[in-house]
């Protein structure tokens, strides 16, 4: 055998395992896409960055926001969820214009409340009419515009506010904080978090500028490739992340809760979050902002209180504590995931927030009297 043929044979032997892996992976990708098309109606060629990627998935990737709530999403049949005590209940969900879970009447003369938050406001655990803000709408007689997206940080929420506040012209803004906001507002903290890191590229506020980072130390480029081109890889990476989160003893949140406000990374995240809430205040001028946290405990409550006061935000400290107290009493207020609220939890939250807002929202006659004469409300 000539030297040239020998080299070719050796190269072929070396490449054979690689080619075998590629073939197996290609077959797996095709099979996975065919299964998703059959089981969920997902088009074979679509990707996570396209609206048609999955009509049953309420989020879609977005170049500017990182991801967003899908406009027009709805359950075409009842979905069964369960409480933390295993009691099953049917729900039916939808997302309206621009991905809002509730989008009121822009032409109404009633006071308008703009609600912004993360997964607790997206509220996929309950039906449309059982969300805490749907209850506020009925109890207070207001128009509600509610936008939430799972995993959102404060910058993403600000970007939603910036995009829609002039259209809605709210009378009051209700801002839903969450303890994981601090992690999601700091790429360094999110990179070392095992429980508050969804492995998606998102915008961060860094040194007064927006930067985009996928907060995974070793696999950022690989994950971006998977999200854009391979559903199978994306699925496997997501399951790997869930596996790591089963025993989160080494995650950064444990250190933060142990060290409290003295944790340097947490201090930086608090500063960034305060800057972002300052941007919110500057953007909306004198519109009242009321905030509450969906999850209590220290050092988060103290940090939210510190952030709210200088930015003219009224922080309701008793909301998360009400749910925690109800759960400790044995009331069934949590979803089966032991974090989000079920129908009873949303009722409790809506009732507590309503008690605070009732005295803060002006009457319809007050709203009408301060409108400019002859002003035409924006068309829907």
Residues 75-131 pLDDT 10s: 878 889 999 999 999 999 999 999 999 999 999 999 999 999 999 999 999 999 999
Based on C-alpha coordinates, what's the Rg of the chain? 24
Q: Is 27 helix (H, G, I), strand (E, B) or coil?
A: helix
Task: List the Cα angle 106/288/105 in 5-degree steps.
Answer: 10
Task: Report yes or no: 172 and 288 within 8 Å, Cβ to Cβ.
Answer: yes
Mean pLDDT for the chain overall:
86
- Rounded-to-integer distance, Cα 106 and Cα 143, Å: 8
Q: Which segment of 144-153, 209-218, 237-246, 344-353 scores lowest on mean pLDDT?
A: 237-246
5-19 burial string, b = 16+ CB within 10 Å, else e? Answer: eeeeeeeeeeeeeee
Q: Which carries the bigger pLDDT value, residue 290 or residue 45?
A: 290
DSSP assignment string, 107-123: T--S-EEEEEESHHHH-
Q: Which carries the bigger pLDDT value, residue 249 or residue 354?
A: 354
pLDDT band per the 50, 70, 90 thresholds, residue 232: confident
Per-residue pLDDT of 283-334, as tens digits, reads 999 999 999 999 888 999 999 999 999 999 999 999 999 999 999 999 999 9
- Rounded-to-integer distance, Cα 53 and Cα 45, Å: 9
What Cα–Cα distance (Å) separates residue 172 from each residue in 80, 96, 182, 357, 366? 34, 20, 24, 9, 14
Number of H helices, E strands in the chain: 14, 12
Q: Half-sphere exposure of 188 toward its Cβ, with a 13 Å CA cutoff?
A: 8
The contacts found for 33-40 with CB under 8 angstroms, 24 or more apart, are 33/231, 36/231
Helix (H) or strand (E) holding 61: strand 59-62
Task: List the Cα angle 263/268/270 in 5-degree steps.
Answer: 90
pLDDT(16) > 90: no
What Cα–Cα distance (Å) separates residue 146 from each residue in 74, 173, 205? 16, 10, 24
- Rounded-to-integer distance, Cα 164 and Cα 311, Å: 20
Percent of the chain with pLDDT over 90: 65
Q: Which two three-digit tokens encode residue 297? A: 């405990």
pLDDT band per the 50, 70, 90 thresholds, residue 21: low
CA 100 from chain centre, in angstroms, equals 12
**Spatial CB neighbours of 136, under 8 Å, sequence gap ≥ 6:** 113, 142, 144, 174, 350, 353, 354, 357
- Rounded-to-integer distance, Cα 233 and Cα 276, Å: 34
In 10 A of CB 262, how many CB atoms?
Answer: 10
Per-residue pLDDT of 125-162, as tens digits, reads 999 999 999 999 999 999 999 999 999 999 999 999 99
Global pTM reads 0.86
């Amino acid at each position: 055998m000539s030297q040239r043929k020998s080299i070719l044979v050796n190269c072929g032997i070396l490449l054979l395992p690689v080619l075998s892996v590629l073939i197996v992976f290609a077959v797996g990708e095709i099979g996975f896409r065919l299964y998703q098309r059959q089981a969920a109606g997902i088009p074979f060629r679509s990707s996570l960055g396209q609206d048609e990627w999955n009509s049953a998935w309420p989020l879609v990737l977005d170049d500017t926001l990182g991801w967003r709530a899908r406009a027009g999403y709805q359950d075409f049949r009842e979905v069964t969820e369960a409480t933390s005590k295993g009691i099953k209940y049917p729900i039916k969900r939808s997302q309206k214009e621009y991905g809002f879970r509730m989008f009121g009447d822009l032409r109404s003369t009633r006071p308008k409340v703009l609600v912004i938050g993360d997964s607790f406001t997206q509220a996929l655990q309950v039906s449309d009419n059982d969300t805490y803000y749907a209850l506020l709408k009925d109890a207070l007689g207001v128009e509600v515009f509610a936008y939430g997206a799972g995993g959102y940080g404060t910058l993403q929420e600000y970007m939603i506010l910036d995009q829609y506040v002039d259209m809605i012209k709210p009378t009051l803004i209700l801002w839903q904080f969450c303890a994981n906001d601090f992690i999601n507002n700091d790429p360094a903290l999110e990179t070392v978090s095992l429980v508050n890191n969804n492995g998606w590229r998102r915008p961060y506020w860094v040194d007064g500028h927006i930067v985009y980072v996928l907060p995974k130390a070793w696999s950022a480029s690989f994950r971006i490739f998977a999200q854009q081109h391979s559903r199978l890889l994306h699925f496997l990476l997501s399951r790997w992340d869930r596996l790591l989160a089963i025993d989160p003893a080494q995650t950064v949140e444990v250190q933060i809760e142990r060290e409290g406000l003295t944790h340097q990374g947490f201090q930086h995240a608090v500063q960034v979050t305060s800057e972002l809430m300052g941007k919110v205040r500057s953007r909306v001028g004198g519109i009242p902002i009321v905030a509450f946290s969906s999850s209590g405990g220290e050092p988060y409550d103290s940090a939210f209180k510190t952030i709210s006061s200088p930015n003219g935000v009224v922080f309701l400290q008793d909301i998360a504590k009400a749910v925690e107290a109800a759960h400790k009493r044995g009331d069934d207020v949590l979803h089966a995931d032991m974090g989000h609220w079920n129908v009873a939890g949303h009722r409790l939250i809506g009732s507590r927030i309503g008690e605070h807002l009732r005295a803060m929202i002006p009457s319809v006659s007050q709203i009408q009297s301060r409108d400019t004469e002859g002003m035409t409300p924006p068309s829907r």
